[in-house]
Amino acid sequence: MVELSTERFEELVADALDGIPADLGEAMENVAVMVDSLAPPGRLLGLYEGVPLTARGTSYSAAMPDRITIFKRSICAAADTEEDVVDTVRRTVIHEVAHHFGISDQRLNELGWG
């Protein structure tokens, strides 16, 4: 297990978001990205909750922001080095952002991002 401060972990999440191509980042709409220092049961590294962009219709308005949560404890527990944490944070952020764009787990697995 790797021990990182919450501030350092949040920096890694911000770096991963900054690494998303600009046109995709600009297309993200009504979504908040959060770090949760605790881990849910199981091995969940991240979670997307909301209405994917591909499912939003004309009636989508005044909705609470979608939420992407990155679970610090789960990621740090699965890592042997800080480099492992950096890589896992990046992959997890990309995976959850992909859900925001309507990409399924099945398709992410096919693309090697599962």
Split at pLDDT 50, 70, 90, the class of 35 is very high
Going along the chain from its start, the domains and CATH numbers come out as 6-53+60-108 (3.30.2010.20)
pTM of the shown model: 0.89
Q: What is the mean pLDDT of residues 82-105?
A: 95
Position 24 scores a pLDDT of: 87
Residue 52 has pLDDT above 80, yes or no: yes
pLDDT computed for residue 57 by the predictor: 77
What percent of the chain is modeled with pLDDT above 70?
99
Cα(40)–Cα(24) distance, integer angstroms: 29
- CA-nearest of 8, 33, 32 to 93 is 33
Band the pLDDT of 29: cuts 50, 70, 90. Answer: confident
Predicted confidence (pLDDT) at residue 108 exceeds the cutoff of 90: no
What is the model's pLDDT at position 76? Answer: 96
Query: Any idea how long the chain is?
Result: 114
Residue 86's φ and ψ, nearest 5 degrees, are: -55, -50
